[in-house]
Structure 1
Amino acid sequence: MPEPAGERHALTRRTLIAAAGATAAIGLAAGPARAGASADPFTLGIASGDPAPDGFVLWTRLATEPLADDGLGGMPARAVDVQWEVAEDERFARVVRRGSEQAAPELGHSVHVELAGLRPGREYFYRFRCGNHLSRTGRTRTAPAAGTLTSPLTMCLASCAAWEHGFYTAYRRIAEDDPDLVLHLGDYQYEFGHLGYPVLPGIARRVEGGETFTLADYRRRHAQTKTDPDLQLAHSVAPWLVVWDDHEVDNNWADEHHEFWGDTEEFLERRRAAFQAYYENMPLRRSSVPQGIDMQLYRRVRWGALANLHMLDTRQYRSDQACGGLLGPCGQESDPSRTLTGDEQESWLLEGFRESRARWDLIGQQVMMGRHDKLAGPLKVTDMDTWDGYTASRDRITRGWVEAGVRNPVVLTGDIHEHYANDLKLDYDDPDAPVVGAELVTTSVTSNGDSAGEDFGGDPENPHIRFHDTMRGYVRTRVTSTELKADFRVLPYVSRPYAPAETKASFVVSDRVPGLQEASTFAR
């Protein structure tokens, strides 16, 4: 199709490297092809993530047959050598690091290279080689040095990419925005089989296989997701920070509780398999290697003195949903013993607030924090899978940043398949209660399919909700020392590829001024 080729030219002007396949002709000297690599092993692309001032993670996963039934992607049942290079320029004339790793079947032939000792606040380029095959080239960057406040941060937020609901054009549009960082806030892939997710009038494309239960199932689903060229492009242009929501494992799971089955050995085995496949397919550090049914995912990334990014895990430690998972209220949702984060993660987050000296504290997490009353009238009807089902937990976190004197708290959220811009309060029942923070909720990449859109402000039941829209898309932000600017980007359709993106609404959070102000789109 003509669009990718044209965009490839445009993106090259912003130092993006040519798409997959073009780098295969670059003359990096290659040794003889090894067994298992006679066909292209880089069908799932490459990625980088978790930037630090002196390094980042580089990722790839080898698969000559991505949808092979055994989940091993057509690779042999033994380790395969993979070489990697990092350079200061896209032509690799100034290589600063190179090395070799073994892609082992025990980890799905994935490779996670943790780099350290690089220069802060720098753009780098990387690539992998296996046998006589060369991957595409990726661009990544290190975080600024501690104390650095001069460089702005352009960041895109994405969530919820159901394969059958549409094409991943939003990822291509993210790549065009030339971000410094991409946050994926959950539901990177879905566990349902063909027609298993709420059926739309027509499906855009078919997911392979049934519902995912085993390690092989989850590996195949991640592999199919990773074959998407727009997703591969977005991974190749910037480092990603990823956290999961529910569909990376199973709909509405909560700690060791299945949505319907409760606590069973079968669900724990499913959780174990899903966690391993998630690590294998994401640019995560060794600290996130699963340990049985547990996986360390919450973490903090510092972007100089400009921002702390607190990435939360609101699934693995949460209390089971109140009210049987139905809409509230039922009284359980306000129980102070209930938690969305678990005690240890909550303490870690509150300590991070107390220690923060950053201009902005950005909390990347999965489910809507601001209250959302779904019914007109005095009765508050809310969703028990969100922070509305854990109101004491929400109060402790919100009071935590207020009492710590956090300068500019902003919550970054996914999950709900709709755009929201929310002012955050300690008391949502008092219309005069002060605003103490802001929340940006990104809509889905594809989930729920095409939508003509719906936007509003001033809902009398939810006056703190400043904007709402039902179209697909993503959120683009630009963070400086004086303001955070957010553009709510939307696509007119996802049922076919290459939809254009436009900004539906823009908001600003000014330094030391909690809450949202409407704004015009920032210039690129």
Structure 2
Amino acid sequence: MSRSPGNPSRRTVLLGGAAALGATTFAGSTLAHALPGAGGRPLADPFTLGVASGDPLPDGMVLWTRLAPEPTADDGRGGMPDRVVPVRWEVAEDERFTRIVRRGEAQATPELGHSVHVELSGLRPGAEYYYRFRAENAVSPTGFTRTAPAPGSLEALLMCFASCSHFGQGHFTAYRRMAEDQPHLILHLGDYQYEYAGDSDDVREVRGPETRTLANYRQRHAQYKTDPDLQLAHATAPWLVVWDDHETENNWADEVPEDPDAGFLDRRAAAFQAYYENMPLRRSARPQGIDMRLYRRIRWGGLADFHMLDTRQYRDDQLCGDGVQAGCDGRLSPDRSITGAEQERWLLKNLRSSDARWDVLGQQVFFSKIDLTPGAEEGYNMDAWDGYVANRDRIADGLSRVRNGVVLTGDVHRHWAAEVKRTHDDPSTPAVGTELVTTSITSGGDGSDDGNEDVIAENPHVKFSSNRRGYVRTRFTAEDMRADFRTLRKVTEPGAPAETARSFAVQDGVRALNPA
């Protein structure tokens, strides 16, 4: 069932079906719905949030859905009764489900927001599957997913990655364009949703107040999940997800909120709970109070190891303010960490033992050194790895020891491409890896044609920047990695086409960005 990247697969039935049905019917089941509610009152379609899959292994993956007939209800319960609801699931080799290979039943409980996380095993490596759920007489939309290739396989991989999707600041067209690329895998690097209340300048209405309680976070996640373009992207490929700050609160660091707040730890626990409930994550990620183990490694055959990092939960608080600062020498302290000591040890151990052709770090904030102040004065972003220089240099040294190191980044609402130096003190030294930074899906609005030429002039290791919205499409093979920086000229209106603003290639063993 494997295929080469770029060739049509049977997922075209989902893409074509979504276009034919339109936004309203794709967002839910088109079959009869009769899930009984409290007192026997029939509820509407419980599958308004769609379906998703994630964390693929060679023999399985996670299948996800969440029952919510009234998805944006203020109490965060999605219109569900306060009882357990059985949910049946099926996995098949064909879109008509005539060749079912696995089926079973899960329990959607009120304690987990009536979400379902099915961890499959026993499937064939490198194979494509369709899946769906049933609750009472309701049937979910069909999802498409795949297992990771067998260990050692060097089969090519088409992967897209994204970040920063603010519901109020634009339409999620970029998610649809990503789905139309038919990737094997999608990475989301944080700011999947935003905590802010609605604003008068918003393009689309944001429901509810600023998120602080479990009900608030459940409601906000549900509103995002009702978007048909986001649903389509979830339904056409397995995802690997990690958070940044806005899934909880802007610029939080470990147990330190942006502003003094005695209730922050309760807010953090609520945000973590809702994040787990609404993402295709394994049980190992289920939060325990204010703690949630999100960093992990996913192996894609012998071609790529994805090291998914958490740069929020364990970091030291930002120094000298959260923005661009000059003269903040504390950032050079060897004790400062953005990963925390345990996660750093875990990552460096993985890099030392890796036999993958490509080692890929999926993480949140700008990794490479970048002077953001034109002229003789130097100014660095204290919210990025520039505020944690020693920690960054140790990771860069680890990247120098693998065959090919690639850092994937979100957060900054602009496309960037850079070469990673071991210390960046001498720009003439060879690179130890490359960094690809994706712009936002919508955050910041339409953007502009500003290419950030003044910043690139200050930083010779930076090769490209774009201020438009979009995502990055990558193609990994045994011989090279190609990155296409995809952009949309408008997100304040729906339906914009995507175009490739710039492409780069990295040859196996070369550690440099070359135009493609």
> Into which bin does the TM-score normalised by the smaller protein fall?
over 0.9
Q: Percent sequence identity over matched residues? A: 60
The answer (yes or no) to whether the contact 1:456–1:466 under 8 Å persists in 2 is no
Tell me the equivalent position of 1:35. Answer: 37
Secondary structure of 1:254's match? coil
d(CA) in 1 for partners of 2:249 and 2:326?
A: 22
1:45 aligns with 2:77: no
| Alignment correspondent of 2:5 | none
Residue pairs, 1:63-462, within 5 angstroms: 63-149=68-154, 151-195=155-199, 202-261=201-260, 264-326=261-323, 327-402=325-400, 405-455=401-451, 459-462=456-459
Deviations 1:109-132 (A, max 9, x none): 000000011100000000001111
Residue 25 of structure 1 and its aligned partner are, at CA, apart by 5.6
| Contact residue 11 and residue 182 of structure 2 kept, 8 A | no
Q: Find the counterpart in structure 2 of residue 490 from structure 1.
A: 487
**AA matched with 1:118:** L
How big is the shift at 1:452? 2.8
Q: Which amino acid aligns with 2:156?
A: P
Q: Provide the alpha-carbon RMSD of the alignment.
A: 1.8
Question: Deviation of residue 210 (structure 1)?
Answer: 1.2
Rounded Cα–Cα distance in structure 2 between residues aligned with 1:337 and 1:450: 40
Matched, 1:60 2:55: no
| Kept in 2: contact 1:328–1:384 (CA 8 A) | no
1:459 Cα deviation (Å)?
Answer: 2.7
Matched-pair contact (CA < 8 Å) for 1:323–1:329 = no
Residue 3 of structure 2 is matched in structure 1 by none
Question: C-alpha displacement at 1:374, in angstroms?
Answer: 1.3
Check 1:351–1:12 CA distance in 2 against 1; reply closer, same or farther (3 A cut): closer
Alignment-derived partner of residue 7 in structure 1 = none
Cα distance in 2 for residues equivalent to 1:239 and 1:254: 29
String of CA shifts for 1:230-253, please: whole Å, max 9, x gaps. 000000000000000000000000
Contact 1:313 1:341 in 2 (8 A): yes
Tell me, which stretches of 5 or more residues in structure 1 are unaligned?
1-9, 520-524
Letter in 1 for 2:431: V
Tell me the CA shift for residue 265 of structure 1: 4.1
Aligned pair count reads: 497
* CA distance in structure 1 between the partners assigned to 2:275 and 2:372 by the alignment: 33
Hey, what's the Cα distance between the residues in 2 that align with 1:329 and 1:81?
A: 59
Instruction: Report the CA distance shift for 1:370/1:347 in structure 2 as closer, same or farther (over 3 A).
Output: same
Counterpart Cα distance in 2 of 1:24 and 1:182: 24
Q: Secondary structure at the match of 1:124?
A: strand
Q: Which residue of 1 aligns with 2:464?
A: 467
Task: Normalising by structure 2, report the TM-score.
Answer: 0.93
User: Following TM superposition, by how much is the alpha carbon of 1:67 offset from its aligned partner in structure 2, in angstroms?
Assistant: 1.2
The 2-side partners of 1:434 and 1:308 are apart by 23
In 2, distance between residues paired with 1:431 and 1:218?
44
Q: Is the 8 A contact 2:35 2:46 kept in 1?
A: no
* Cα contact 1:365–1:411 (8 A) shared by 2: yes
Asked whether the 8 Å contact 1:44–1:223 carries over to 2, the reply is yes
On the 8 A contact 1:328/1:389 being kept in 2, the answer is: no
Task: Give the secondary structure class of the aligned counterpart of 1:396.
Answer: helix
Match of 1:6 in 2: none
| Contact 2:31/2:138, CA 8 A, preserved across alignment | no
Aligned-partner Cα distance in 2 for 1:325–1:412: 22
> Cα distance, 1:209 vs. partner?
1.3
Alignment partner of 2:240: what SS? strand
Quote the Cα distance in structure 1 between the aligned partners of 2:30 and 2:110: 28
CA–CA separation in structure 2 for the residues paired with 1:24 and 1:463: 52
- SS of the counterpart of 2:320? helix
Shift of 1:259: 1.2
8 Å Cα contact 1:124-1:140 kept in structure 2 = yes
Matches of 1:417 and 1:24, distance apart in 2: 34
> How far, CA to CA, are the matches of 1:452 and 1:260 in structure 2?
31
Q: TM-score, normalised by structure 1?
A: 0.92
Which runs of at least 4 in structure 1 moved beyond 6 Å after TM superposition?
Answer: 10-13
1:487-521 superposed Cα distances (whole Å, 9 cap, x missing partner): 000001001100000000000011000020011xx
Q: Do structure 1's residue 502 and structure 2's residue 496 form an aligned pair? A: no
Helix, strand or coil at the partner of 1:372: coil
Q: 1:297 and 1:516, CA in 2 relative to 1: closer, same or farther beyond 3 A?
A: same
The alpha-carbon distance between structure 1 residues 456 and 212, as it changes in their structure 2 partners (threshold 3 A), is closer
Q: Distance in 1 between matches of 2:138 and 2:459?
A: 55
8 Å Cα contact 2:445/2:491 also seen in 1 = yes
